């Protein structure tokens, strides 16, 4: 297929300035949110309050994700991004007042505001991450997207490590860290206003990006609910669960058993490790000289086997730590063994995350793929609401949640395999075309970014 001619009056989807704006927006919003949580319990001394507030956030995000299509119909994708960023700074402010003054109500209030807005942001950013890149660049684009999200964690970890480098004891991080985070997140709505509207963006293959809703919002919500009950999507619900349940588990593990500066180091190093792994995986998933069948199956089993090994490691350590209640600093004996599992679980989370989007892009036909992306964020939020809620209870924070996550992985493998094993199984990929390295099995997906999702006003 010959690419369409590029219109010089349109902004390309891979335009460097567009990427910088997207990176900045992701960094200041959920990137900084991730930075706070990657400190373990949002940087607090005890994980209970922060995990409970995160459970509230994700519970509300389930609802806001579901209604995001209707909201996008009225205010457009760009408006949804602006709306989606407004709740992050109040949550950071709640963590600041709790850290400095012991105030608890603002943590919960900020978490509620974050949940209402962030669900819309998640759905909008997922649509952009899937719709903007060309089919043969989609894996790399998802890797870049995760890089942008994790850049906030890396930046936050570096800031916190610099401020708390001498804090070689358990406790909470310096409140100065939160002031920096609040300032960064407060710029979110203004950064979102600078992004190009979808109708002004053109992909490198010459295709323009259409993200309009032609159905009424109520019809779109019914279609989204129907897509959830598609057997193929239901079969990956447990796989989504084992992937995202882990975030609360390993962040709580970090808060319970490590000093302040070790937690900051964990935030910094795990972000870098996850960025490297995510980009390598994204490039592998775009290797069209290998069949879709091989890429899907090899990735699935690599993730499954590695995750099993890492969770067994975590189960052994958590069982032992519950009785001895250690606090590890980077100068402590045994630090490497205890710290290493946190790094690997973070890598596993991000690899799982990227692979889930790969699954969604191949799971359905043209008209359903964006809905499935929104459903993925909603189901993810539901699982994380459960995991953060459970880890706010001491016994689950220490061992129970780790046992549950390992069990989820075991029971999720077979249903997910029934879906992944079908990718590319009905036809083998011919040699790749010279048109950007696409294979015929991938070119069938090149139109899905034109699915109507939101009308700009």
Res 446: pLDDT:
40
Short-list 345, 353, 372, CA closest to 142: 353
Res 142: pLDDT:
73
The C-alpha R_g of the chain, in whole angstroms, comes to: 21
Res 403: pLDDT:
96
Q: Secondary structure of the chain in the HEC alphabet?
A: CCCCCCCCCCEECCCHHHHHHHHHHHHHHHHHHHHHHCCCHHHCCCHHHHHHHHHHHHHHHHHHHHCHHHHHHHHHHHHHHHHHHCCHHHHHHHHHHHHHHCCCHHHHHHHHHHHHHHHHHHHHHHHHHHHCCCHHHHHHHHHHHHHHHHHHHHHHHHHHHHHCCCCCCCCCCCCHHHHHHHHHHCCHHHHHHCCCCHHHEECCCCCECCCCCCCCHHHHHHHHHHHHCCHHHHCCHHHHHHHHCHHHHHHHHHHHHECHHHHHHHHHHHHHHHHHHHHHHHHHHCCCCCCHHHHHHHHHHHHHHHHHHHHHHHHHHHHHHHHHCCCECCCCCCHHHHHHHHHHHHHHHHHHHHHHHHHHHHHCCCCCHHHHHHHHHHHHHHHHHHHHHHHCCHHHHHHHHHHHHHHHHHHHHHHHHHHHCCCCCCCCCCCCCCCCCCCHHHHCCCCHHHCCCCCCC
Res 64: pLDDT:
86
* Residue 248: Cβ-neighbour burial (10 angstroms; 0-12, 13-18, 19+): buried
Q: Which domains does the chain have, with CATH numbers?
A: 11-450 (1.20.1250.20)
Task: Give buried/exposed letters for 408-431 (b at 16+ CB in 10 A, else e).
Answer: bbeebbebbbebbeebbeeeebee
Mean pLDDT by 10 residues, the chain (457 residues): 42 47 59 67 60 88 81 79 88 88 89 89 74 67 75 78 73 75 84 71 60 63 81 93 93 89 87 90 87 93 97 96 91 93 94 89 66 81 91 90 96 96 67 39 39 36
Cα–Cα distance for residue pair 385/403, rounded to 1 Å:
17
Res 230: pLDDT:
86
């Amino acid at each position: 297929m010959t690419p369409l001619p590029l219109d010089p009056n349109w902004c390309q989807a891979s335009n460097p300035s567009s990427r910088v704006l997207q990176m900045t927006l992701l960094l200041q919003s959920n990137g900084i949110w991730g930075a706070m949580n990657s400190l373990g319990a949002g940087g607090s001394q005890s994980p209970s309050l922060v995990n409970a507030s995160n459970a509230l956030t994700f519970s509300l995000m389930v609802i806001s994700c579901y209604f995001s299509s209707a909201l996008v119909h009225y205010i457009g994708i760009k408006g949804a991004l602006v709306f989606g960023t407004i709740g992050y700074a109040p949550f950071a402010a709640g963590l600041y007042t709790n850290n400095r003054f012991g105030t608890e109500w603002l943590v919960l209030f900020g978490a509620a505001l974050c949940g209402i807005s962030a669900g819309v942001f998640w759905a909008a950013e997922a649509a952009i991450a899937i719709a903007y890149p060309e089919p043969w660049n989609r894996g790399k684009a998802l890797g870049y997207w995760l890089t942008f999200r994790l850049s906030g964690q890396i930046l936050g970890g570096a800031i916190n490590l610099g401020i708390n480098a001498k804090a070689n004891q358990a406790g909470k991080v310096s409140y100065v860290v939160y002031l920096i985070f609040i300032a960064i997140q407060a710029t979110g709505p203004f950064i979102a206003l600078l992004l190009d509207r979808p109708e002004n963006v053109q992909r490198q293959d010459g295709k323009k990006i259409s993200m309009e809703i032609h159905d009424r919002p109520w019809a779109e919500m019914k279609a989204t609910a129907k897509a959830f009950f598609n057997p193929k999507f239901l079969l990956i619900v447990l796989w989504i669960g084992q992937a995202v349940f882990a975030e609360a588990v390993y962040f709580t593990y970090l808060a319970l058993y490590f000093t302040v500066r070790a937690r900051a180091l964990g935030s910094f190093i795990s972000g870098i490790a996850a960025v490297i792994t995510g980009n390598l995986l994204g490039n592998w998933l775009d290797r069209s000289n290998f069949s879709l069948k091989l890429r899907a199956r090899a990735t699935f089993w690599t993730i499954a086997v590695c995750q099993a090994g890492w969770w067994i490691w975590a189960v052994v350590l958590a069982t032992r730590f519950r009785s001895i209640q250690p606090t590890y600093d980077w100068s402590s004996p045994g630090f490497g063994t205890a710290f290493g599992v946190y790094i690997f679980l973070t890598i596993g989370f991000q690899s799982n995350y990227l692979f889930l989007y790969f699954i969604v892009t191949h799971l359905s036909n043209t008209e359903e793929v964006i809905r499935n992306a929104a459903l993925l964020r909603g189901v993810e939020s539901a699982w994380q609401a459960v995991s953060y809620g459970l880890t706010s209870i001491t016994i689950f924070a220490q061992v129970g949640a780790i046992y549950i996550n390992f069990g989820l992985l075991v029971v999720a493998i077979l249903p997910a395999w029934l879906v992944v094993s079908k990718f590319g199984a009905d036809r083998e990929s011919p040699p790749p075309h010279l048109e950007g390295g696409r294979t015929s099995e991938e070119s069938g997906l090149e139109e899905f970014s034109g699915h109507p999702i939101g009308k700009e006003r």
